Amino acid sequence: MEHIIFQHNGTLYFAAWSDGKIRAFSPETGKLLYEIVDAHPKSVTAMAATADCTRIVSGGKEGQVRVWIVTPSGNRMLNSAHDHKGLVSCIRMNRDSSKCVSSSEDGTCVIWDLERYTRFQMVIANTLFKCVVFHPSGCQILTSGTDRKVAYWEAFNGQLCRHIYGSHEGGINALDITDDGKYFVTGGDERVIKVWRYHDGRHVATGRGHSGTITSLRISKDRRIICSVSVDGAILQWDFAALIAQDIGNVPK
């Protein structure tokens, strides 16, 4: 299994698999409800769900981004785009699900219009993008990758606003932002999580505990918990308030 997401209403969850299938399960019983057999020709590597629980967007190892309608009566593909030339590493929705953004290891991030099913904007950088997220306002996106940077981009025109070095060594594989947009959290090859203030890019806290590379992390909606996952199989929970109380004021160089 490559990736997992819950529908916003909690009635089911989708799992992405290396065999190119997307499977939907009941969270209460674990029963397989249905599957999209030929979701992608290779591994399904990224997914995101719309807020109204009617569509999911998937990305594959081959670089395609596909939109699916998923209802109790059936599922079908609405659109397939081929703008990425490498593995799709992350897909995230904006707040109202009118747009989504996908990152790829080919060095591109694409913002998609989910009403017209067209490309809205693209950003390009000399890195293998690993993660991307919308600021809750929808005006900017944050990206991270193998170049050790966290970059701020204007969503409207794709211009780079600023970047900060978020890691002393190795790539940044995981990235999430708080629901109020005030903080974001990173994790990667350094095996630590770092909390940053969004508006000034200041590093305010570090969480140590992983012994392997961090591959994924998420912040809870209420900003109480950060959950991080590493390649050694560890899943750690962090007290967000306790972390930002550190306010160490260190900005990596």
CATH number (domain holding residue 13): 2.40.128.630
Is the pLDDT score of 249 beyond 90? no
CATH number at residue 131: 2.130.10.10
Clarify whether residues 139 and 237 are in a common domain: yes
The residue segments making up the domain with residue 144 are 125-253
Is the pLDDT score of 253 beyond 60? no
110 inside domain: no
Clarify whether residues 150 and 85 are in a common domain: no
103 inside domain: no
106 inside domain: no
Confidence of residue 71 (pLDDT cuts 50, 70, 90): confident
Confidence of residue 247 (pLDDT cuts 50, 70, 90): low
Contact 77, 66 (CB under 8 A): yes
Give the alpha-carbon dihedral of 226, 229, 233, 239, to 10 degrees: -20
87 inside domain: yes
Contact 167, 186 (CB under 8 A): yes
Cα distance between the two ends of the chain: 36
Q: What are phi and psi of 97, to 5 degrees?
A: 65, 20
Q: How far is residue 157 CA from its own chain's centroid?
A: 21
Is the pLDDT score of 9 beyond 90? no
User: For the segment 12-33, what is each residue's pLDDT rounded down to a tens digit?
Assistant: 999 999 999 999 999 999 999 9
CA-to-CA distance for 239 and 241, rounded, in angstroms?
6
Clarify whether residues 34 and 146 are in a common domain: no
**The pLDDT value given to residue 2:** 80
User: For the segment 80-117, what is each residue's pLDDT rounded down to a tens digit?
Assistant: 999 999 999 999 999 999 999 999 999 999 999 999 99
pTM for this prediction: 0.93
* Averaged pLDDT, 70-77: 86
Clarify whether residues 135 and 241 are in a common domain: yes
Clarify whether residues 248 and 129 are in a common domain: yes
**The pLDDT value given to residue 246:** 75
Contact 22, 34 (CB under 8 A): no
* Averaged pLDDT, 42-64: 96
107 inside domain: no
101 inside domain: no
Residue 217 identity (one-letter amino acid) = L
Tokens representing 165? 């070095």
Q: Give every CB contact of residue 71 below 8 A, 6+ residues apart in sequence.
A: 54
Domain count of the chain?
2
Output the CA angle 191-193-198, nearest 5 degrees. 145
Clarify whether residues 155 and 31 are in a common domain: no
Tokens representing 245? 């109380």
Clarify whether residues 248 and 138 are in a common domain: yes
CA-to-CA distance for 77 and 100, rounded, in angstroms?
16
150 inside domain: yes
Residue 170 identity (one-letter amino acid) = G
